[in-house]
C-alpha cells in the first residue's frame, strides 16, 4: 500500500541520455509504485529545451520557487559537438547554471557511504558535506596580460556621485598579468544562511574556510558576515543541537579534513569549493555515490540531483542494443532527498520514513554484494571482473532495488538476494 504525500507537489525535471532511461524506471518502479505524490513535470531533455528556446528550464526553476521542492535528472550542457549532433538553434547555457541563477542558494555535495566500497581516505567513515559558494571571485573576474611597464590601479566610482576611491595594485617594471575580482554582501549572506540551515538539518557542525590572514579585507568580509549571521540567527539552535560553527584557515582546514572521520559541513569559497568537492568525491570512492542538493537561503526551497552527468558512453552502447551497467543510486537519492524534504515541509513522517527506507535499501543492496559494474570495479578492479551473463543490462540492478524495497516495505528486515549472478569474482556475485 502506497504512502499518500497529502501535501504539496514535487517539481520533476527530466533529463538526457542514459540517466533519462534510469530516471523513468526509478520513478515508475521505486517511487510512484509506493508514494502517491503530485508531480509537476518539466522536460529538460536537450531537444525540448531547444524547442522551447530554453524557456522550459526557466519555467521549471520558477515552479521550484513556488512549490519549494524539485528533483532533477542529469542533463546535457551543449558544446559545439552537441550543437551539431542535435541541430540546435544555439549553444544553450547549462540548465544547472540557469536554475541556480534564478533560485540562488548553495550547492551541497555529500557522499553515499557503503561499507564495502573502498575509500582512498580510509579514515572517512562518515560523510562530509561540502557547500560551495558558486558566485563571484575568480569565476566572474576580469583578468588581463600587459606587455610593457605601467601602473595597475583599481577605481571604485560610487553610485551617489561622491568622490572616486582608488587603489594602486602594482607598478609593473615590465610585462605581466593582473586580475580584478569581486563578491557581494547579498550573495555571501545567502551563502551563510544556506550553510547554517543545512548544518542544522544534518545536526552536524559547520566549518567555514578562508585565507583571511592574507586577504584581510576580502576574505575577512566572508568571515565577518558568517560570524555576525551565526550570532544573530543560529547560535541558540546550534547550542541546542550541541553542534558548533568555526572559521578555519583553508590550509588548516584541509589538514583537518584529511585527519577527520567525517560528519560535518564544510563551507567553501568558490575556487576552494570547486577544487575540494572533486577531492572529496574521489576520496570517498565514486561520483556514482555522490548526492547534490541546491539549498536556497529561505530554508524551504531545495533542488536535488545526482552529482554525475548523463553517462553518454553507456547511452551509446544502449543505442546499439548492447548491455550496460549504469549506477542508479545517485539518481535514486535525488528522489529521496527531494521527497524527504517534501515530508519535512508538510509534516509527513510517513513520506520521510519511506525516503529514508529507500536510501537504506540502496546501501544494504550494495553491501550485500549486489551492485553495478563501476562499484564492483572499485572493490576488485575492472580487469578482474568476469562476465557471466552478457544479456543482462542496467535495469537488472534497478529491478533488484525494486524487489529489495518491496521486501522491506512488506515487513522483511533484510534486502532480497536472488542469488542469480551476472558478474563473478571470487565467490562474489554482482548484478550488472
Annotated binding residue at 132? Answer: yes
How does DSSP classify residue 231? I
Contact 194, 234 (CB under 8 A): no
Q: Cβ contacts of residue 145 below 8 Å, gap of 6+?
A: 175, 176, 177
99 assigned ligand-binding residue = yes
Q: Is 9 annotated as a binding residue?
A: no
* Those residues with Cβ within 8 angstroms of residue 411's Cβ, 6 or more apart along the chain or in another chain: none
Q: In the beta sheet, which residues pair with residue 132?
A: 107, 268
Q: Is 316 annotated as a binding residue?
A: no
Q: Is 312 annotated as belonging to a binding site? A: yes
Is 214 annotated to bind ligand? no
Q: Is 337 annotated as a binding residue?
A: no
261 annotated ligand binder: no
Q: Is 140 annotated as a binding residue?
A: no
C-alpha grid cell, residue 233: 540567527
Distances (CA, A) of 385 to 187, 217, 225, 391: 48, 55, 52, 16
270: annotated binding-site residue?
A: no
82 labelled binding-site residue: yes
Query: Is 313 marked as a binding-site residue?
Result: yes
**Local structure of residue 126 (DSSP, 8 states):** S
CB 88 within 8 A of CB 78: yes
Q: Is 311 assigned a ligand-binding role in the annotation?
A: yes
The answer to whether 274 is annotated as binding is yes
Is residue 360 part of an annotated ligand binding site? no
210 in a known ligand binding site? no
Tell whether 309 is in a known binding site. yes
Instruction: Give dist(CA 337, CA 329) in Å, integer.
Output: 12
The span from the CA of 331 to the CA of 30, in Å, is 12
Sign of torsion over alpha carbons 300, 75, 42, 349: negative
Does the annotation place 75 within a ligand binding site?
yes
59 annotated among ligand-binding-site residues: no
Q: Residue 150 region, left (φ>0) first, then alpha (ψ -120 to 50), else beta? A: left
Residue ranges of the binding site for Mn(2+): 251, 274
Residue ranges of the binding site for NADP(+): 75-77, 82, 259, 309-314, 327
Residue ranges of the binding site for D-threo-isocitrate: 77, 94-100, 109, 132
Residue ranges of the binding site: 75-77, 82, 94-100, 109, 132, 251, 259, 274, 309-314, 327
Amino acid at each position: 500500500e502506497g504512502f499518500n504525500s497529502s501535501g504539496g507537489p514535487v517539481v520533476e525535471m527530466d533529463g538526457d541520455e542514459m540517466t533519462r532511461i534510469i530516471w523513468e524506471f526509478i520513478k515508475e518502479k521505486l517511487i510512484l509504485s509506493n508514494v502517491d505524490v503530485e508531480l509537476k513535470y518539466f522536460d529538460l531533455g536537450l531537444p525540448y529545451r531547444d524547442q522551447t528556446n530554453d524557456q522550459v528550464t526557466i519555467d521549471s526553476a520558477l515552479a521550484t520557487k513556488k512549490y519549494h521542492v524539485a528533483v532533477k535528472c542529469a542533463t546535457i550542457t551543449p558544446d559545439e559537438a552537441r550543437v551539431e549532433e542535435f541541430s540546435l538553434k544555439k549553444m544553450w547555457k547549462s540548465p544547472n547554471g540557469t536554475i541556480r541563477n534564478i533560485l540562488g542558494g548553495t550547492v551541497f555535495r555529500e557522499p553515499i557511504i557503503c561499507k564495502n566500497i573502498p575509500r582512498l581516505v580510509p579514515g572517512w567513515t562518515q560523510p562530509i558535506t561540502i557547500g560551495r559558494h558558486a558566485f563571484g571571485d575568480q569565476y566572474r573576474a576580469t583578468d588581463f596580460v600587459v606587455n610593457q611597464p605601467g601602473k595597475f590601479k583599481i577605481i571604485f566610482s560610487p553610485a551617489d556621485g561622491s568622490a572616486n576611491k582608488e587603489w594602486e595594485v602594482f607598478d609593473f617594471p615590465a610585462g605581466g598579468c593582473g586580475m580584478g575580482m569581486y563578491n557581494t554582501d547579498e550573495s555571501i549572506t545567502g551563502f551563510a544562511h544556506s550553510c547554517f540551515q543545512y548544518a542544522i538539518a544534518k545536526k552536524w557542525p559547520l566549518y567555514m574556510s578562508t585565507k583571511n590572514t592574507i586577504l584581510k579585507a576580502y576574505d575577512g568580509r566572508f568571515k565577518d558576515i558568517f560570524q555576525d549571521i551565526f550570532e544573530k540567527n543560529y547560535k541558540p539552535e546550534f547550542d541546542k543541537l550541541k553542534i558548533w560553527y568555526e572559521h578555519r584557515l583553508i590550509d588548516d582546514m584541509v589538514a583537518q579534513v584529511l585527519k577527520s572521520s567525517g560528519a560535518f559541513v564544510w563551507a567553501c569559497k568558490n575556487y576552494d569549493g570547486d577544487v575540494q568537492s572533486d577531492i572529496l568525491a574521489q576520496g570517498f570512492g565514486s561520483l556514482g555515490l555522490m548526492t547534490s542538493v541546491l539549498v536556497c537561503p529561505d530554508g524551504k526551497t531545495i533542488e536535488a540531483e545526482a552529482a554525475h552527468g548523463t553517462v553518454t558512453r553507456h547511452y551509446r552502447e544502449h543505442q546499439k542494443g548492447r548491455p550496460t551497467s549504469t549506477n542508479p543510486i545517485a539518481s535514486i537519492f535525488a528522489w529521496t532527498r527531494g521527497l524527504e524534504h517534501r515530508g519535512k515541509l508538510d509534516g509527513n513522517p510517513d513520506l520521510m520514513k519511506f525516503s529514508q527506507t529507500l536510501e537504506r535499501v540502496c546501501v544494504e543492496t550494495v553491501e550485500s554484494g549486489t551492485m553495478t559494474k563501476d562499484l564492483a570495479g572499485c572493490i576488485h578492479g575492472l580487469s578482474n571482473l568476469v562476465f557471466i551473463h552478457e544479456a543482462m543490462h542496467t535495469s537488472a540492478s534497478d529491478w533488484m532495488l525494486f524487489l529489495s524495497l518491496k521486501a522491506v516495505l512488506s515487513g522483511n528486515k533484510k534486502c532480497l538476494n536472488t542469488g542469480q549472478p551476472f558478474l563473478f569474482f571470487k565467490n562474489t556475485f554482482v548484478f550488472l
